[in-house]
Amino acid sequence: MQQAILISKDQIDILSEHAKKASPNESCAILFGKIEKDHYMVKDVFLTMNIENSPVNFTISNDELIKGYQEAEKRKLDVVGIFHSHPDSEAYPSVTDQKFMEINPVPWVIFSNKSEQFRAYIFESKVEPFDLHVE
Ligand SMILES: [Zn+2]
């Protein structure tokens, strides 16, 4: 059972930069990597557009989702996480996020532009905090 998601400082910097550029709207990305026995290992981030252009919601277009999954497959990587940012609130999943987390039970990484903090969550019968290790 995976207990944590491991991500590099460089990847964290790419994601926070992406979030700052998208502000005041939410930003989003797909995290590619390997599902190991006891953790998820992020190998690359696939930056996507938030087609909702919204400060409180995000949607990745079907085209980009397909492109993302094809790219992952080509590189023999798995989708190990979903990233999005909260420009004006804490890094805690909204009611909408929780609904989508149940459908996508991979780690969800949320960045708060407000507090500049990253947090991870996962759906395991309910939404739970998940260990995010930056290395
Ligand atoms: Zn959210």
Residue 39's pLDDT band (boundaries 50, 70, 90)? very high
Residue 83 in contact with residue 29, Cβ under 8 Å?
yes
Alpha-carbon distance 73 to 67, whole Å? 10
Stretch (H or E) spanning 10: helix 9-22
* Cβ partners under 8 Å of residue 40, min gap 6: 2, 4, 5, 6, 33, 34, 80, 81, 106, 107
Q: ∠ CA(13), CA(69), CA(35), 5° rounding? A: 70
Per-domain residue ranges of the chain? 4-134
Determine the average pLDDT of the residues in 2-26: 98
pLDDT by residue (tens digit) across 96-128?
999 999 999 999 999 999 999 999 999 999 999
Determine the average pLDDT of the residues in 29-58: 97
- Model pTM score: 0.96
Taking domain 4-134, whether its CATH number is 3.40.140.10 is answered by yes
Residues identified as active-site: 26
Q: How far is the CA of 65 from the centre of ligand 1 (A)?
A: 18
* Through-space distance between the first and last CA atoms of the chain, rounded to whole angstroms: 21
Q: How far is the CA of 75 from the centre of ligand 1 (A)?
A: 28
Q: What does the mean pLDDT of the chain come to?
A: 96
pLDDT number for residue 56: 96
Beta partners for residue 33, in sequence order: 42, 78
pLDDT number for residue 57: 96
Q: How far is the CA of 73 from the centre of ligand 1 (A)?
A: 27
Alpha-carbon distance 10 to 23, whole Å? 20
pLDDT by residue (tens digit) across 73-95?
999 999 999 999 999 999 999 99
Strands 108-112 and 28-35, by their bridges, are unpaired
Q: How far is the CA of 56 from the centre of ligand 1 (A)?
A: 7
Residue 42 φ/ψ, nearest 5 degrees: -80, 130
Residue 49's pLDDT band (boundaries 50, 70, 90)? very high
pLDDT number for residue 20: 98
